[in-house]
């Protein structure tokens, strides 16, 4: 089973690009036609542009693949899809537990696995901007493999 968030990331990228162009257009119009309003709102406009640009650069594609023997997690930058930022490949027999932890801003896939020295280790893999239904599919597929 293969799950990714490419459609969600493309949608968020277009929304943020339209927001940046809208803010820049609003600032340009207010600079030429309403200079007294521009003086009051220019710092807020610049702050919104910076926030949108930071969000654009933080967007990442996530790819989850479960072949039945190995779980593979990959994370790509949106500007360079060929170069992987993080990649985790784990055999299923070493994984003790797999669940999703939701924090204020990010979702993390927590993988608890048994190392060779018989100690447990947790891996926190950020999986933001993945649909809720896909998160449930990931958890359900792991539970099905554990039960089998």
Domain spans, the chain: 6-58, 61-147
Report pLDDT digits (tens) over 80-129: 766 666 788 888 888 888 888 888 777 888 888 888 787 888 888 888 88
Q: What mean pLDDT is reported for the chain?
A: 84
pLDDT above 90 coverage of the chain, percent = 17
pLDDT (average), residues 127-140:
82
Residue 41: is its pLDDT beyond 80? yes
Burial 86-118 (b: 16+ CB within 10 A, else e): eeeeeebeebeebeeeeeeeebbbebebeeeee
Query: What is the CATH topology of the domain spanning 61-147?
Result: PH-domain like (2.30.29)
Which element (helix H / strand E) includes 25?
A: helix 6-33
CA 122 to CA 96: how far, in whole Å?
A: 10
Residue 53: is its pLDDT beyond 70? yes
Report pLDDT digits (tens) over 61-82: 888 888 878 888 888 888 776 6
Res. 18 pLDDT band, cuts 50 70 90: very high
pTM, entire model: 0.78
Residue 69 has a pLDDT of 82
């Amino acid at each position: 089973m293969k799950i990714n968030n490419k459609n969600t990331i493309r949608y968020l990228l277009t929304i943020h690009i339209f927001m940046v162009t809208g803010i820049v257009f609003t600032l340009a119009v207010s600079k030429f036609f309403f200079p007294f309003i521009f003086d009051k709102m220019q710092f807020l406009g610049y702050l919104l542009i910076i926030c949108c640009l930071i969000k654009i650069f933080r967007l990442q594609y996530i790819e989850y693949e479960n072949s039945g023997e190995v779980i593979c997690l990959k994370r790509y930058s949106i500007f360079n899809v060929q170069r992987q930022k993080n990649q985790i490949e784990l055999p299923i027999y070493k994984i003790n537990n797999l669940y999703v932890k939701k924090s204020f801003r990010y979702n993390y896939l927590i993988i608890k696995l048994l190392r060779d020295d018989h100690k447990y280790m947790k891996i926190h893999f950020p999986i933001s901007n993945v649909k809720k239904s896909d998160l449930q599919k990931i958890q359900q597929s792991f539970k099905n493999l554990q039960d089998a």
